[in-house]
Structure 1
Amino acid sequence: MTVSPSADAGPNRRIVAVLAITCGVAVSNIYFVQAISPLIAADLKVAEDSAAAAVTAAQFGYAAGNFLLVPLGDRIPHRTLIVALLGLTGLGLAAAAAAPGLPMLIAASAAVGITTVVAQVIAPMAAGLVTEERRGAVMGVLLSGSIGGILLSRAFGGVLGEWLGWRAPYAVAAALAFLLAAVLAVVLPVTVPATRERYPALLAEPLRLLRAEPELRRSCFYQATVFGGFQAVWTGLALLLTGPGYDLSAPAVGVIALVSAVTMVCMPWAGRQVDRRGSDPVNLAAIAGTLTSAAVLAAGGLGGAAGLAALTAGVLLLDVAMQSGMIANQARIFTLRPDSRSRLNTAYMTCAFLGGSVGSWLGTRAYARVGWAGVCGLVAVLAGLALLRHLPHARRAGR
């Protein structure tokens, strides 16, 4: 486990707040593109589903970064690693802002996705710096920061993109990454690496953990399917709202995202339910909520005020379900091997974002071929797969 000279006291509230902001800013880098993909398509004169490839590239890059870079949190001092990743993210965002065409933008988006995995380095670091009595509270603050970043990123991207063009969100995000790198270089505590294993061994460990831990595999499958549906919805939603059925501007996508701020209020309650009832009942509720959201979202294809209300309610339900499942799954995996939390998190997040990347890609294809009903059907199928995986376990457990 990672230790530091101040591990007994743990980081103070100011540092935790800065870390939560960093998590939110880092996570937002792979989400704000969803709100501006129609603007990218119009400016670069490409099809909307082609412009959406920038979203998919960032998602695949994030999955790769989780696999390739997050294990280094057990090998490199956290301050060094986090500052370096933020600097590289800033460079990737700046390259995206200056991209002359779609191929360069897709390549830069993939690079940003790979390096903006800071939140997944911060969580295991914070878990090792605080006592068990404070761990849940600190993890909750960091998760709230990440959720806030996800929610605000689409509004930020949509509004700023409509006002100043699609390159502006990339430029502002680059400046924020460089600023946070400078701040964290000063305020982060010094930590001692948990292992001196060579890089190839670090990369192999998450795969070994996946083979050795059935509960890790189960948690990964749950999140990959539910998060895949989540990403499919947000990739298709920008196309739906800016299409002929609604004919809204890009900021409308971000405004709808803001209603999911309710999720930040619900997550502490979901965490208490995990503590009180265990992870499995919360997982079941999350899967059921995802299935229900697919039906509610389908009504969004009707258009008009009623359709917009259905989209808003469905997005909120889906977001609460997905994030609740995340808490349940991480609570389960972090109890498996306390001395390997970074590598457990690497395996889990890599699988989750691979699922999200595939969901984003499938969502684009489903929308292009079937329309919004195809996206909602995809969400239902993915949630159904998670339910089929969960029910045999529930019966064996006597629930």
Structure 2
Amino acid sequence: MSRRVLLLLAVACGVAVGNVYFPQAVSPLVAAGLGVPPDSAALVVTATQLGYSLGIFLLVPLGDRLPHRPLIVSLVAVTAVSLLAAGAAPGLPPLVGASVLIGVTTVIAPVIGPMAAGLVAADRRGEVSGTLLAGSIGGMLLARTFAGNVGEWLGWRAPYLVAGALTAVLAVVLAYVVPKSAPATRQRYPSLIIEPLRLLRAEPELRRSCFYQATIFGGFSAVWTTVALLLTGPTYGMGAEAVGWLALVGAATMVCTPIAGRQVDRRGSDPINLVCMIGVIASAAVLIPGVLGGWVGLAALVVGTLLLDVAMQSGMVANLVRVYALRPDARSRLNTAYMTCAYLGGTLGSWAGTRAYTTLGWLGVCGLVGLLGAVALAVHTGLPRPEPSVSADA
């Protein structure tokens, strides 16, 4: 796999992941535009993440069963149509339904990841996973900034319509870029989607990686679902574009994740996981002054969200490398189990974060993040964890 193809695949991951995250920046605009309470509008974010979890479980295993190029292009094309439908939704229920469909079909990043891992030597998987994740991060950050600014100027529908057009262009590009591949298995679909559950039962290292990412990603989602409510509420009184600019600060993670990948290649996954969990707990403490408002509060939000982003994304690289090393013939199914658990954790985190913010305010969200990080750290330090040997296959 050439460097040019890898970079194009990273861009594709960024566009796809951006479709999951940009609703976080426009949920206050959805509330105002459709005349619904802010916590009801936040259901759009939760619905997209729930759909993403379903898509990972139902569609990502097909990466082991079907050639990658037609699978990826088809998913991207359906995502484009779903985004356009969301932009034309007349009310909240149709928007929530379209958001679920967007999430279900915009799962090309977890399809591309295992494909790319199989195209490089074992000692480059951390680097390649980090590069693809950097692309995903770039899409996530730019999507929030784009959606917040465009939505503030043109209304909440505009980000969906523009994203739909860009995703349609991406489908055409990927039809020529995605490498041709042969299926890794001929399993029938019912047994294919059950296989991730069997792998979860059979592989303790997979279960461990899933637990780590579900808890940490839950805290991450809790913060980014509720920070829009904080910034647009009475404490700060800002517009939706402020969420996008805050998210853009996390661009440093695009540099950190390839570095984390190289460190995983050299040192193994466990030391990186440990540092990242400590970083998540520290981020919860740093975020607390965000409740004060003003420049002090903004500084706390900038530093805290940056630390949280770097810790979560670097930990994901460590977990992915551990997972990909377990069964080279079943990487898509392993990734299905891992990513499904991760995004179910994120969905629950979004829901719990909204409840915590409604009940206890920003301090409740910070407490939730710290608790989730502490639980992950307690499990990590309390259980024996033999590092699996890395397969030498390409």
Q: Classify the TM-score, shorter chain.
A: over 0.9
Unaligned runs of 5+ in 1: 1-9
Aligned-partner Cα distance in 1 for 2:222–2:123: 38
Aligned residues: 387
Q: Matched residues in 2 for 1:73 and 1:21: separation?
A: 19
- Cα pair distance change 1:137/1:321, threshold 3 Å: closer
Return the letter of the residue paired with 2:242: A
One-letter identity of the residue aligned with 2:106: T
1:181-206, Cα deviation, whole Å (9 max, x unpaired): 11111232321111111001110110
Q: Distance in 1 between matches of 2:126 and 2:381?
A: 28
The 1:144–1:118 alpha-carbon spacing in structure 2 relative to 1, beyond 3 Å, is same
Deviations 1:219-239 (A, max 9, x none): 100000000000000011000
Equivalent position of 1:283 in the other structure: 273
TM-score (norm 1): 0.94
What is residue 41 of structure 1 aligned with on the other side? Answer: 31
Residue 169 in structure 1 maps to residue 138 in structure 2: no
1:108 aligns with 2:98: yes
Q: Are residue 53 (structure 1) and residue 53 (structure 2) matched? A: no
1:118 and 2:108 correspond: yes
In the alignment, does 2:350 pair up with 1:375?
Answer: no
Is 1:159 the counterpart of 2:149 in the alignment?
Answer: yes
Name which of 282, 289, 295 aligns with 1:305. 295
CA–CA separation in structure 2 for the residues paired with 1:129 and 1:292: 37
Q: List alignment gaps of at least 5 residues for structure 2.
A: 388-394
For 1:267 and 1:136, how far apart are their aligned partners in 2?
Answer: 9
Q: Aligned in 2, Cα 1:386/1:99: closer, same or farther, shift over 3 Å? A: same
Asked whether the 8 Å contact 2:126–2:262 carries over to 1, the reply is no
Cα distance in 1 between the residues matched to 2:368 and 2:127: 35
**Distance of aligned partners of 1:135 and 1:289 in 2 relative to their CA distance in 1, 3 Å threshold:** closer
Match of 1:141 in 2: 131
TM-score when scaled to structure 2? 0.96
| Residues 142-171 of structure 1, C-alpha deviations (whole Å, 9 max, x = no match) | 111111011111101100101111101101
Q: 2:236 aligned with 1:221, yes or no?
A: no
Which letter maps to 2:319? N
- The residue that corresponds to 2:20 in the other structure is 30
2:16 partner letter: A
Partner secondary structure for residue 227 of structure 1: helix
Distance 2:177 2:384 in 1: 45
Q: What pairs up with 1:1-399 in 2 under 5 angstroms?
A: 10=1, 12-132=2-122, 134-393=124-383
Percent identical among aligned pairs is 66
Cα RMSD after superposing both structures: 1.4
Counterparts of 2:13 and 2:320, CA distance in 1: 16
The 1:174/1:150 distance shift into structure 2, 3 A limit, reads: same
- Give the letter aligned to residue 104 of structure 1: P
Structure 2 Cα separation of the partners of residues 188 and 51 of structure 1: 36
1:224 partner letter: A
Give the letter for the 2:306 counterpart: L
C-alpha displacement at 1:134, in angstroms? 4.7
Paired AA for residue 56 in structure 2 = N
The offset of 1:369, in angstroms, is 1.0
The 2-side partners of 1:170 and 1:191 are apart by 32
Q: Which letter maps to 1:249? A: G
Q: Give the letter aligned to residue 165 of structure 2.
A: A
